[in-house]
Amino acid sequence: MSPAVTDENHVGADDTTPIAKRILIGEPLTSEELEGQLLPKKMALPIFASDALSSVAYAPQELLMILLIGGTAFLTYSPWVAAAVVALLVVVVMSYRQLIKAYPSGGGDYEVARTNLGEKAGVVVAAALLVDYILTVAVSVASGVDNIISALPGLDAWRVELAVGFVVLIILVNLRGVREASTAFAIPTYLFIGSVMVMIVVGLIRWALGDPPIAESAQYAVKAEDLSQAAMFLLILRAFSSGCSALTGVEAVSNGVPAFRKPKIRNAQATLVMMGSIAAMMFAGLTLLALVAGVHYAENPCHLVGFDCTGAVQPSLMAQVAAATFGGGSVLFFIIQAATAAVLLLAANTAFNGFPLLGSVLARDGYAPKALNTRGDRLVYSNGMIILGLAAVVVLIVFQAKLTTLIQLYIIGVFVSFSLGQLGMVKHWRRELRLLSPKAAAERRAAWSGLVINSLGATFTIVVLVIVTITKFTHGAWLVFLAIPVLSFLMVGVHRYYRDVEHEITMDDDVHFGATGDVAIVLVGKLQKPVAKAIDYALAARHDKTFAVHISVSPEDTRDVQADWEYHHMPVPLLIIDSPYRQYAAPLAQFITQYRQKHGSSVVTVYLPQYIVGHWWESVLHNRRARRIAQQLMLVHGVQITLVPWLLDSTELIYGRRSRPLPGDDRAGRITSYGLVAHTEDET
Amino acid sequence: MSPAVTDENHVGADDTTPIAKRILIGEPLTSEELEGQLLPKKMALPIFASDALSSVAYAPQELLMILLIGGTAFLTYSPWVAAAVVALLVVVVMSYRQLIKAYPSGGGDYEVARTNLGEKAGVVVAAALLVDYILTVAVSVASGVDNIISALPGLDAWRVELAVGFVVLIILVNLRGVREASTAFAIPTYLFIGSVMVMIVVGLIRWALGDPPIAESAQYAVKAEDLSQAAMFLLILRAFSSGCSALTGVEAVSNGVPAFRKPKIRNAQATLVMMGSIAAMMFAGLTLLALVAGVHYAENPCHLVGFDCTGAVQPSLMAQVAAATFGGGSVLFFIIQAATAAVLLLAANTAFNGFPLLGSVLARDGYAPKALNTRGDRLVYSNGMIILGLAAVVVLIVFQAKLTTLIQLYIIGVFVSFSLGQLGMVKHWRRELRLLSPKAAAERRAAWSGLVINSLGATFTIVVLVIVTITKFTHGAWLVFLAIPVLSFLMVGVHRYYRDVEHEITMDDDVHFGATGDVAIVLVGKLQKPVAKAIDYALAARHDKTFAVHISVSPEDTRDVQADWEYHHMPVPLLIIDSPYRQYAAPLAQFITQYRQKHGSSVVTVYLPQYIVGHWWESVLHNRRARRIAQQLMLVHGVQITLVPWLLDSTELIYGRRSRPLPGDDRAGRITSYGLVAHTEDET
């Protein structure tokens, strides 16, 4: 235990932290412990790669599903479409290798676009990325739940509840901090890679030996739509767009470079290439195996002739391939499904690394609320995590955790940031080439190769963005097209606001000291001990003038206060202010304004006695009047508010809620006998 | 417009009230305007009687529905069951006439039970009444919506949404205050009484002339259950219990006596008797007419052979009778349905008079949070209204606005308070008789007749309570049996809490003045103008010692603050306190505690600069750090918190949000040139 916590005189944040928070989230960490939280490569792979790798759990399925709309004959196009996706993946991975080298600070596409294309491009990329992170969580969790239900169809009725439950779980795991999360996440990611690879190899060997695995759905015919030539072409493009969901998550590494151990850049690049290679192999292998096994996966399973479309659950493509290869009830089938579900849920975790980090960068740059740049007890950006989690829960509930609908929204944002990031990199290399001296041959060669790679990347991703936009817009992507500009405008507005406030409060020659005219007003409702304490403390400060004010709402109460005042010989005069509308702050504000008009612009200190309670429910039983009065009086010029706490006995019930009284303090925080200062006065 | 509002120097509550609130709720009223808000009889009838009268819209239906479970043959019992209900109604009305006379303060059954049977009985009655008020709103609104849907079956899909919408509407109407509500409510209530009376008379005359109205449902046969003799008897008792829902709302008048014009007691009594007579006539007439018309209303309409039980909406009994009498598409049919729906919605309004009044009485007696005894701008107990409305919305959503389910919950609470109230009255009269001198013959006669009437009332209501409990317990009434004790325990707990706090804070000989050792600490994050203002104001108070404290969370920030401090020649010393866990309050609290241990138990004033913003959304953009620090520091003995507001420019954007600066104040609330006091100093 840290010394600050064992120190008995220590009060405040630690002591008031509910035990539940400590158990769920863990002990607090000092700022120096940050370096120890950094990731070695073998841990960084599962953390940052689970998003990109897990995409192969849904990308082949969505690709084949779209082609199947045109009928089983269309499936012959799928190897070509899959090959295009893999080619794109290779280009994008190469492009991001360049980006990591050039911008290793973790700002990723946002930083690249902002630095090279200007503020507006940066804000748009940031907005696109924020939307993406939310959708990553939603899509991954929805697909994970889908795979769980494929293995255990009885859970179908709880689809949305399961999805929301998993998001909450992921939030809690992440609030504990990044390294512990990584340890817990490494095993399922490696299990997923291993088991799916084994499945692909076994399946393809069986095929080569003339005993191919056959999926149950191979027997179903398809009610194909009648398509024109143009529609057929569009369908192939749509299938390609959906297949591009395999690329989502590739950018995760570039946004997480600061979390890597040194040498950060090389480790991050190696992780990226490793991840890209594995993803490409798995995507190609799974698509091929699904074709071999004759998997028929339909957007609406009722279009499958022979499928019991009212009762039965349509298993995911992964489940169908696994069942065909290993048998539906086999241990290996359940291992594959469990690993797939686990890695998808962990993919959601990628966003819980990226979103808060981007949020803190945005907050640092003044584009997002400062609260996003505050590390919590466990050194993670807690606020960002909570916002991301809540947003994902809302998306999951609104779209009822339906994977195919969510995928439509997903890919746009990814390719907006891809494209702007790559464009920024193109500009970056061109500037580098301008600035480098013609003698620096090695650097020039590197810059040239960077320029070529990123130009290729930019061209490809822009073309795909156009295709995705055309093919997905009416299928829900318009929502993302609305969200990105709205978020961008908000961020620009926040930036402008912070700039104005900063301008307003920066120290300048206008600052000088010498406020005078020191008046104290103690607000009195009923004459009770808390009021007496406030008067005692006000007198201790020896203001120029001190008097009590009672706002008269009911004549009886006022008479009582006046009588008590005389009876107890209170040492300050009592003023009565009438309030026919039963307001407290307004008449007092008016009185203060008039007083200052008459006596010059003095500093008026208003003393408000406040109850401090031990339990949250006690606050329901006390009027929050003092707090509301304070809020309104603070709008009056020259006023400051002094809150004089009265610690009710119940504050003691909870260990450590209040400090130990010194000799001379009483339980309620009053000073009853006088310490050194008082003794000195006694002697004179 | 009131003078306080036109006064330009006036700030606070009025000025900060959003315009929307004024439009929805109206201009504020002074306490003196209370008398003008009182009700004449012809207005009190619709306000307080709508609950009791509207009961006839559902009571006959629920009565006949239960009997129909036993088959159409059972309907022959219905006149006898209805007669028993009417007899009970007469007894209860007579009993409440006595209660109004004896306890005219509006505490109703609660006050009677508390005064005569002790605290516990009073608390139980209060709990029962609170539950009842919530269910009154839920049942009335559900039945109102039911009647709307009977006329416009297309709205069936929006049943719950309609119900919730109406509750919200009623909340808003009531927040405007009681008299305006009454004016709006008088017309539909009288229309309801008139149109239903006309319908009964027309129907019965047609019957007498040999041309009885025939309901459409008369043609449906009933799938009757096979019943044993005991079950048959129980069924008749259940029907009687459900019919007793006609009595709900009779107590409303006794709880609302203070809202009547003088002579309050006689006016309230007359209103009660008028209401009882009308209710009895309408209940008997409607039941009879429904029998004549052969209305078959089933709990589950699928039990009606021939009824399209998947698609069609089963019209309410009122709608069926009206359709039989006047024709389903006739104008009179729609008038009856509209008036019924309106009066049912207004019945919900009764609870909005009773619940807040009872809440304020409970708060005054210390059994409920004090906030319930605070009148809002419009002289109504706003908090009680909002709690009632929200609770009713929850009940409506949970029970999906299903009338028959809600009725099961409803009657228990009503008869718990009836019974305990009547028992209390019996005890009241017996005590009166003991205390009255034998010579006061008239008083003794009155007391004897009171005793007889209330004994009868007590006996009847207790018997009915037992019947209702036996027949409804398994049908959902157990929920109410759970809610009443839980609420009772809560109220007793609240009472104990207030008593303890009162004991703790009452002035006694222990109170004395003379706190000393006056230290001021200004908390500094960054050196900006708000900090400079806080230092300026702290210096104005001329504390014994004043110094600034910076909590060091990041070394760079600390270096910046120290450099700025020197550069701007700040007039107080700056102390740095390290905080490795990034906490603010805890290290400061520790520092203060140690300081006081060393220097004696001094008063420590902590100055916290606070931003005041103009828009709610701006607060998202500022850390709430100052507020959180204040909350934790107030737990430290000897500490008081001074909040120094910094008015950001945006506070000016909203008219009147901040006071006009005087000559000498700057826009942010600083004092920049010195008024009279400063001038005096210049002269010396």
Domain map of chain B by residue range?
A: 38-404+481-498, 518-683
How close is the nearest chain A Cα to the Cα of B683, in Å?
15
Which residue stretches of chain B have pLDDT < 70?
1-37, 177-185, 224-225, 309-311, 376-380, 616, 650-664, 667-669, 671-684
Taking the CB of residue A620, how many other CB atoms lie within 10 A of it? 13
Residue A268 confidence (pLDDT) above 60: yes
Sequence length of chain B is 684
In chain B, residues with a C-beta closer than 8 Å to the C-beta of A613 are: none
Q: Which of B607, B622, B637, B649 best tests the A interface by mutation, with the highest count of A CBs <10 A?
A: B637
Determine the residue of chain B that is closest to A533 in CA distance. B513
The SS3 assignment for B640 reads strand
In chain B, residues with a C-beta closer than 8 Å to the C-beta of A369 are: 620-621
Q: What is the pLDDT of residue A21?
A: 60
Q: In 3D, which of B327, B292, B80, B86 has the Cα closest to residue B203?
A: B292
Instruction: Give the C-alpha separation, B219 to B200, whole Å.
Output: 22
More confidently predicted of A95 and A44: A95
Query: Which residues have a Cβ under 8 Å from the Cβ of A159 and sit 6 or more positions away?
Result: A145, A149, A400, A401
Dihedral sign of CA atoms B149, B152, B156, B162 in order: negative
Instruction: Check whether the bond before B609 is cis (ω within 30° of 0).
Output: no
A56 — phi, psi (to 5°)? -70, -15
Residue of B10, B612, B623 with shortest CB distance to A371: B623
Instruction: Give the C-alpha separation, A251 to A425, whole Å.
Output: 14
Q: In 3D, which of B247, B275, B271 has the Cα closest to residue B257?
A: B271
More confidently predicted of B656 and A604: A604
Q: What is the pLDDT of residue A491?
A: 93
Q: Tokens for A7?
A: 């120190």
Q: Tokens for B544?
A: 């014994």
Please identify, in words, the CATH class of the domain defined by B518-683. alpha beta
In chain A, residues with a C-beta closer than 8 Å to the C-beta of B676 are: 517, 599-600
Least confident segment among A309-318, A515-524, B198-207: A309-318
Instruction: Give the C-alpha separation, B245 to B82, whole Å.
Output: 12
How close is the nearest chain B Cα to the Cα of A474, in Å?
28
Q: What is the pLDDT of residue B524?
A: 93
- Fold of the CATH domain A3-498: Amino acid/polyamine transporter I (1.20.1740)
Q: In 3D, which of B51, B69, B417 has the Cα closest to residue B238?
A: B69
Q: What is the pLDDT of residue A377?
A: 58
Residue of B11, B513, B532 with shortest CB distance to A539: B513
In chain A, residues with a C-beta closer than 8 Å to the C-beta of B577 are: none
Q: What is the pLDDT of residue B340?
A: 93
Q: Residue A360 — pLDDT band, cuts 50, 70, 90?
A: confident
How distant, in Å, are the alpha carbons of A14, A359, A671, B577 from that of B583? 9, 21, 28, 11
Q: Which of B378, B502, B643 best tests the A interface by mutation, with the highest count of A CBs <10 A?
A: B643
Contact A397, A137 (CB under 8 A): no
Residue B274: exposed, middle, or buried by beta-carbon count in 10 A (0-12, 13-18, 19+)? middle
Query: Which residues have a Cβ under 8 Å from the Cβ of A39 and sit 6 or more positions away?
Result: A47, A178, A179, A182, A259, A260, A261
A103: left (phi over 0), alpha (psi -120 to 50) or beta: beta
More confidently predicted of B514 and A327: A327
Q: What is the pLDDT of residue A13?
A: 38
Query: Which residues have a Cβ under 8 Å from the Cβ of A441 and sit 6 or more positions away?
Result: none
How distant, in Å, are the alpha carbons of A318, A358, A397, A497, B467 from that of A141? 15, 21, 12, 36, 53
Q: What is the pLDDT of residue A27?
A: 61
pTM, 2 dp? 0.72
Taking the CB of residue A40, how many other CB atoms lie within 10 A of it? 12
Instruction: Tell me how many residue pairs between chain A and chain B have CB atoms under 8 A apart.
Output: 398
How close is the nearest chain A Cα to the Cα of B221, in Å?
34
How distant, in Å, are the alpha carbons of A109, A423, A448, B519 from that of A433? 21, 16, 8, 63
With CB atoms and an 8 Å threshold, state whether B593 touches A11: yes
Percent of the residues in chain A that have a pLDDT greater than 70, as a whole number: 86
Q: In 3D, which of A180, A175, A184 has the Cα closest to residue A22?
A: A175
**Structure confidence by residue, pLDDT tens digits, A632-662:** 888 888 889 999 988 877 665 444 456 667 6
Instruction: Give the C-alpha separation, A90 to A101, whole Å.
Output: 17
Q: Does domain B38-404+481-498 have CATH number 1.20.1740.10?
A: yes
In chain B, residues with a C-beta closer than 8 Å to the C-beta of A10 are: 586, 589-590
Q: Which of B527, B636, B679 best tests the A interface by mutation, with the highest count of A CBs <10 A?
A: B636
Q: What is the pLDDT of residue A554?
A: 85
Q: Tokens for B622?
A: 């500022």
B523 — phi, psi (to 5°)? -85, 130
* Side chain identity at residue B410, one-letter code: Y
Residue A156 confidence (pLDDT) above 70: yes
Kindly state the average pLDDT of the residues A448-466.
Answer: 91
Taking the CB of residue A459, how many other CB atoms lie within 10 A of it? 15
According to DSSP, the residues that pair with B550 across neighbouring strands are B576
Q: What is the pLDDT of residue B674?
A: 46
Tracing tokens 């307003």 back to the chain, one arrives at A504
Residue A312 confidence (pLDDT) above 50: yes
Contact A381, A375 (CB under 8 A): yes
Taking the CB of residue B27, how many other CB atoms lie within 10 A of it? 12
Instruction: Give the C-alpha separation, A6 to A488, whole Å.
Output: 47
Q: What is the pLDDT of residue A612?
A: 80
Instruction: Give the C-alpha separation, A169 to A255, whole Å.
Output: 23
Q: In 3D, which of B296, B299, B284, B289 has the Cα closest to residue B217?
A: B296
Q: Which of A535, A598, A634, A651 best tests the B interface by mutation, with the highest count of B CBs <10 A?
A: A634
How close is the nearest chain B Cα to the Cα of A537, in Å?
6
Query: A518-524 and A304-305 as β-strands: parallel, antiparallel, unpaired?
Result: unpaired
Q: In 3D, which of A551, A564, A559, A563 has the Cα closest to residue A524?
A: A551
In chain A, residues with a C-beta closer than 8 Å to the C-beta of B516 are: 540, 671, 674-675, 677-678, 681
Q: What is the pLDDT of residue B89?
A: 93
Q: Tokens for A436?
A: 């480098």
Count H helices, E strands: chain A? 25, 7
Q: What is the pLDDT of residue B23?
A: 57
Residue of A611, A622, A669 with shortest CB distance to B638: A669
Instruction: Give the C-alpha separation, B500 to A611, whole Å.
Output: 14
Residue of B507, B528, B675 with shortest CB distance to A600: B675
DSSP class of residue A153?
A: G
How close is the nearest chain A Cα to the Cα of B329, in Å?
40
Contact A213, A293 (CB under 8 A): yes
Q: Residue A675 — pLDDT band, cuts 50, 70, 90?
A: very low
With CB atoms and an 8 Å threshold, state whether A622 touches B662: no
Kindly state the average pLDDT of the residues A458-462.
Answer: 90
According to DSSP, the residues that pair with A665 across neighbouring strands are A671
DSSP class of residue A77?
A: G
With CB atoms and an 8 Å threshold, state whether B590 touches A9: yes
With CB atoms and an 8 Å threshold, state whether A623 touches B371: yes
Q: Which of B2, B373, B503, B659 best tests the A interface by mutation, with the highest count of A CBs <10 A?
A: B659
Q: Residue A15 — pLDDT band, cuts 50, 70, 90?
A: very low
**Structure confidence by residue, pLDDT tens digits, A377-416:** 555 688 889 999 999 999 998 888 888 888 888 888 888 8
With CB atoms and an 8 Å threshold, state whether B623 touches A543: no
Contact B480, B395 (CB under 8 A): no
Query: Which residues have a Cβ under 8 Å from the Cβ of B128 and sit 6 or more positions away?
Result: B412, B413, B414, B416, B417, B420, B484
Instruction: Give the C-alpha separation, B113 to B103, whole Å.
Output: 11
Tracing tokens 């034998």 back to the chain, one arrives at B438
With CB atoms and an 8 Å threshold, state whether B590 touches A11: yes
Residue of A28, A501, A632 with shortest CB distance to B12: A632
Give ∠ CA A484-A146-A469 in degrees, rounded to 5. Answer: 30
Q: In 3D, which of A373, A375, A384, A357 has the Cα closest to residue A32?
A: A375
Instruction: Give the C-alpha separation, B81 to B87, whole Å.
Output: 10
Largest CA distance in chain A: 110
With CB atoms and an 8 Å threshold, state whether B506 touches A529: yes
Residues A445, A449, A452, A456: what is their CA dihedral angle, to the nearest 10 degrees?
180
How close is the nearest chain A Cα to the Cα of B647, in Å?
7
Give ∠ CA B451-B120-B123 in degrees, rounded to 5. Answer: 95
Q: Tokens for A218?
A: 């191979």
Q: Rg for chain B (alpha carbons), in Å?
A: 33
